[in-house]
Structure 1
Amino acid sequence: MRRSILGVLLLAGIFACDSIDSKQQTATTEKASEAAAAGEPAEDKRKVILFYGNSITAGYGLDISEAFPAVIQERLDSLGYEYHVINAGLSGETSAGGLSRIDWVLKTPVDIFSLELGGNDGLRGISLDETEKNLSQIIEKVKQSNPQVKIIVAGMQIPPNMGQEYTDRFKGIFPMLAEKHNTALIPFILEGVGGIPELNLPDGIHPTPEGHKMLADNVWAVLKPIIDEDNI
């Protein structure tokens, strides 16, 4: 399992969403105008769930529609929950990179924020104090953007390449952050997926669409109670 986790986090690609060209923007604007004229809502009023992370969140090697955030969106829709999911994953992202782009990401109002970063820091042997500081600042910025936001911290683990003490301390960062900032915690987002051949791509290290469904289950176990409480 540890070799699989290492592979998932070492093999980094660049994830980017296709931008909408000017013609599409014009068409979207026209449709919004028509909807407004017809007395229909012109914008999405659903609450926003934003998944912020690295290749795990981005769904490296898959179409974005197969990554676990998209699976979460399908589940929400099927159950009648009025939420819009945004996948803000970036393959190869570190905690420092996440901190540097968080202000831009938060231009979109967020109601539920899932933080899945730090794995690449651990594999590179980055100072644990620095990783903790970066992740803590991301959480603080999210809270500043919306004091009512609900935050989920996704736990991660690394193999003991940097020594057992470093490995143990790294694992402890995530529950510590969750306690410090009073957030929800996913103990280990890759639980049940890492090291399972049939749940990984042919390279043996990246989750298949079925593997991402398992990741979605791990996330859903923590996310659903938050959503249910939010809708009481």
Structure 2
Amino acid sequence: MKKFNGIYMSGKYLIVGILLLSVLGSCGNNEDKTSNSNKQKREQLPREAGKEKAKTIVFFGNSLTAGYGVDPSEAFPALVQEKIDSLELPYKVINSGLSGETTAGGKSRIDWILRQPVDIFVLELGGNDGLRGIPVAETAKNLQAIIDRVREKYPNVKIILAGMQVPPNMGRNYASAFRVAFQQLAANNHVDLIPFLLENVGGISHLNQADGIHPNPQGHKIVAGNVWRVLQGLL
């Protein structure tokens, strides 16, 4: 008789006991490995779940959006991207501004822009129409066509319309009808409205470039704030 694990056993039972403990020990090791593996997977899940595919915000406009006369990083769409990044929000800004663009030009260009996915669409057109004295009804018709096309391609898109105003030298009636057109478009289409994109910038010399029309870097910071007050509610 030999003593094994505190118990006296004969030879053949001793061998069986050793084999049994060996098997049990192996099972325990496998269970530990499985437990550790499951634990690692659970620890990885929160990190993987937290990764979201970046959604797209398209700024579709003219020279104001394009950042005429300033570095692209100083234009208000880039400043909005900086704000988004600082808050670690999953959105990517695309600047689709084109200097000199009218609403008619935007209507012709929109299909090319919509080849990429769009989650939020910021429509900033109409200023050049106003400066050229294009009939307000024509401007409104073109903006409506752009809105319709965007929604046709992306039914779930969120749209923001940037309101614009024209200088008083265009005539009081024209200036009033022009301003109201953006309000009516926003209401009729149930889209968010930036009342006046250049609020607290337009007509203020030290916030604009020499032409008195395009914001300088400091002006773009204020414009970015005007945009952000409306945009942040959609993010």
State the TM-score, normalizing by the size of structure 2.
0.75
Unmatched 5+ stretches in structure 1:
1-39, 228-232
Q: Map 1:76-225; keep pairs closer than 5 Å.
A: 76-225=84-233
Q: For 2:182 and 2:124, locate their aligned partners in 1 and report how far apart those are by CA, in whole Å.
A: 10
Distance in structure 2 (CA, Å) of the matches to 1:151 and 1:226: 9
Q: Tell me, what secondary structure is at the counterpart of 2:89? A: coil
Contact 1:153–1:186 (Cα < 8 Å) also in 2 = yes
| Equivalent AA in structure 1 for residue 74 of structure 2 | E
2:222, 2:165 → 1: CA distance?
17
Deviation of 1:145 after TM superposition, in Å, equals 1.2
> CA 1:197 to 1:124, structure 2 compared with 1: closer, same or farther past 3 Å?
closer
**What does the per-residue CA deviation read over 1:66-95, in whole Å, with 9 as the maximum and x for residues that have no partner?**
100000001000101010000000111100
Fraction of identical pairs, as percent: 62
Structure 1 CA distance for aligned equivalents of residues 61 and 158 of structure 2 = 16
1:91 alignment partner AA: S
Conserved in 2, the CA contact under 8 Å of 1:157 and 1:167?
A: yes
Q: Counterparts of 2:210 and 2:102 in 1: how far apart (Å)?
A: 25
RMSD: 1.5
Q: Which has the higher contact order (CA 8 A, sep 6+)?
A: 1
Superposition misfits of 4+ residues, deviation over 6 angstroms: none
Q: Using the alignment, how far apart are the partners of 1:95 and 1:48 within structure 2?
A: 22
Structure 2: 5+ residue stretches without partners: 1-47
Equivalents in 1 of 2:176, 2:211: separation in Å? 27
3-state SS of 2:108 partner: helix
Report the Cα offset of residue 45 of structure 1: 3.0
| Superposition TM-score, scaled by structure 1 size | 0.76
Q: From the CA coordinates, give the structure whose radius of gyration is larger.
A: 2
